[in-house]
Amino acid sequence: MGKFIIEGGKRLVGEVSISGAKNAALPILAATVINSDINTIFNIPDIRDVHIMKKILKSIGCKVEKIDDIMTVDTKSLNTAKIPEDLVREMRSSIILMGSMISRLGEVIVSYPGGCEIGPRPIDLHLKALRDLGVTINESHGFIHCKADKLKGCEIQLDYPSVGATENIMLAATKAEGTTIIRNAAREPEIVDLQNFLNACGAKIYGAGTSAIRIDGVKELRGVEHTVIPDRIVAGTFMVASAITGGEVVLKNIEVEHIQSIIAKLKEAGCMIYNNCTTLKIVGPKKVRAVETIRTLPYPGFPTDMQAQMMALLTIADGTSIICETVFENRFKHVEELLRMGANIKTEGRVAVIKGVKELTGAKVTAKDLRGGACLVLAGLAAKGETVIDNIYHIDRGYEEFDKKLISLGADIRRI
């Protein structure tokens, strides 16, 4: 499974380039299925989830090649509607293949997805929306069998602005007959990136980035070249790494507009931040200030995927901070690990109260999910002594060469 061993107390200084966004690359790779052509995708991150998506695409008959951060996907030879169960269970994002497979083949057989255990993330919204589009769904023995003779555009009101459900509807409706309108759609930048990819292929989608998305069905799509947006959560994680070590780090290849909510909270914590559109410099404070309240919300609110990393920072802040987790109900698994390192955190339900301590101390801890694992790395960078982090395969799911990039900034971290 692998471990990180970190000797804390090193100030991070230097430049780091941010890789492509995991949560944009995966739906775009799924979308290549629809156009039955050759697609070249640039700025693909070298992470575990992308490797699993590559295996899934190959297993259903596609030809996939990856050189550096460029992936070429030829989906002409796709030959089955069944997605292998073992791969789906490894990665939750595989569920977005449902929309594109139904659009291409009119059928898909998929098992319930896996991924991080951060509380129930039911796919009911996905299934309800697909039924509205004319898909017949049978569920039995842990498998979902979706079939549609013809997809028909309709109006879909989402109960919650789910990113995955919004993407699945966009993918399924791209070639549906007539017009589909998604109301209360997710507004994340990754949705905009998916729209840009599909429209380049010949789709007619309008409104991504707002709460109403309109999709006019088209008959055919073509293969294209596309560059994935930078990963705003990876950018946020490196920003906290600079803050927690009192460092001075320059981030390159970012979209500053995508990380405004993170910038606001880090400024509140005492960081100095200078930026233009694609580059940002963050200088960590001598003493971190407590942040009154952080409430996780769908975009453009503060991202749930940055909650754990901010908590690591607030453990050494001067004063008491409160975090309210409104998106996932089981997303405080990193708390018991931070307590081992000397943090003072009390949780009740979806609320965590963090009283800043003078310093964290190194300990043996375990990564239980992707962002919780990143949080422990950040805590280890600031802690006194040695921190050993187990189960780092979680971290590899979403961070490209995390340890190497931290080493280039001056961290003392090694992988075993």
> Which tens digits make up the pLDDT trace of 201-217?
999 999 999 999 999 99
Those residues with Cβ within 8 angstroms of residue 1's Cβ, 6 or more apart along the chain or in another chain: 390, 391, 392, 393
Same domain for 217 and 113: yes
The pLDDT, as a whole number, for residue 141 is 83
Q: What is residue 94's DSSP assignment? A: G
Q: Taking 80 as the threshold, does the pLDDT of residue 356 lie above it?
A: yes
CATH code: domain of residue 32? 3.65.10.10
Q: Taking 60 as the threshold, does the pLDDT of residue 120 lie above it?
A: no
Place of tokens 């061993």: 5
Same domain for 367 and 240: yes
The pLDDT, as a whole number, for residue 116 is 67
Binding site residue list for phosphoenolpyruvate:
22-23
Q: What is the CA radius of gyration of the chain?
A: 21
Q: Taking 90 as the threshold, does the pLDDT of residue 114 lie above it?
A: no
SS3 call for 74: strand
Where does 204-359 show beta strands of DSSP type E? Answer: 204-206, 212-216, 225-227, 248-252, 272-275, 279-283, 293-295, 320-324, 344-348, 351-355
Nearest to 300 by CA among 377, 219, 189: 189
Please tell me which residue in 62, 116, 146, 201 is annotated as part of the active site.
116
Same domain for 348 and 313: yes
The pLDDT, as a whole number, for residue 115 is 63
The pLDDT, as a whole number, for residue 244 is 98
CA geometry: angle at 305 spanning 300 and 28, to 5°? 75
Contact between 41 and 69 (Cβ < 8 Å)? no
Structural domain count of the chain: 2
> Which tens digits make up the pLDDT trace of 241-256?
999 999 999 999 999 9
The average pLDDT across 61-70 equals: 97
Query: In 285-388, which residue ranges form alpha helices assigned H by DSSP?
Result: 307-314, 335-340, 370-382
In angstroms, rounded to a whole number, what is the distance separating the alpha carbons of residues 170 and 191?
A: 9
Same domain for 170 and 143: yes
The pLDDT, as a whole number, for residue 123 is 85
| Average per-residue pLDDT for the chain | 95
In angstroms, rounded to a whole number, what is the distance separating the alpha carbons of residues 52 and 54?
A: 5
The average pLDDT across 49-76 equals: 97
The pLDDT, as a whole number, for residue 117 is 63
Active site residue 62: no
Q: Taking 60 as the threshold, does the pLDDT of residue 83 lie above it?
A: yes
The pLDDT, as a whole number, for residue 385 is 98
pLDDT confidence tier of residue 360, bands split at 50, 70 and 90: very high
pLDDT confidence tier of residue 93, bands split at 50, 70 and 90: confident
Q: Taking 70 as the threshold, does the pLDDT of residue 339 lie above it?
A: yes
Same domain for 291 and 182: no
Binding site residue list:
22-23, 92, 121-125, 305, 327
The pLDDT, as a whole number, for residue 121 is 54
* Domain of 235, in residue numbers: 3-19+230-415
Q: Taking 80 as the threshold, does the pLDDT of residue 39 lie above it?
A: yes
Same domain for 160 and 128: yes
Number of H helices, E strands in the chain: 14, 23
The average pLDDT across 282-294 equals: 98
Q: Taking 60 as the threshold, does the pLDDT of residue 305 lie above it?
A: yes
Torsion, Cα 103 77 46 334, to 10 degrees, reads: 50
Which pair of tokens denotes residue 350?
Answer: 């979806």
Q: Taking 70 as the threshold, does the pLDDT of residue 56 lie above it?
A: yes
Looking at 227, 242, 272, which one is the last position of a domain?
227
> Which tens digits make up the pLDDT trace of 368-401?
999 999 999 999 999 999 999 999 999 999 999 9
Same domain for 125 and 13: no
In angstroms, rounded to a whole number, what is the distance separating the alpha carbons of residues 151 and 361?
A: 57
Q: How far is CA 142 from the centre of its chain?
A: 25
Looking at 193, 227, 261, which one is the last position of a domain?
227
The residue count of the chain comes to 416
In angstroms, rounded to a whole number, what is the distance separating the alpha carbons of residues 234 and 231?
A: 5
Those residues with Cβ within 8 angstroms of residue 401's Cβ, 6 or more apart along the chain or in another chain: 46
Looking at 164, 196, 227, which one is the last position of a domain?
227
By CB atoms closer than 10 A (0-12, 13-18, 19+), residue 346 is exposed
The pLDDT, as a whole number, for residue 101 is 97
Place of tokens 């309008």: 206
Binding site residue list for UDP-N-acetyl-alpha-D-glucosamine:
92, 121-125, 305, 327
Same domain for 387 and 361: yes
Report the share of the chain in percent with pLDDT over 90. Answer: 91
Same domain for 293 and 218: no
Same domain for 212 and 106: yes
Which pair of tokens denotes residue 106?
Answer: 């009119």
Half-sphere exposure (Cβ direction) of 308: Cα atoms closer than 13 Å: 28
Same domain for 250 and 383: yes
Same domain for 197 and 140: yes
The pLDDT, as a whole number, for residue 113 is 75
Query: In 43-162, which residue ranges form alpha helices assigned H by DSSP?
Result: 48-59, 85-90, 97-105, 124-132
> Which tens digits make up the pLDDT trace of 2-27?
999 999 999 999 999 999 999 999 99
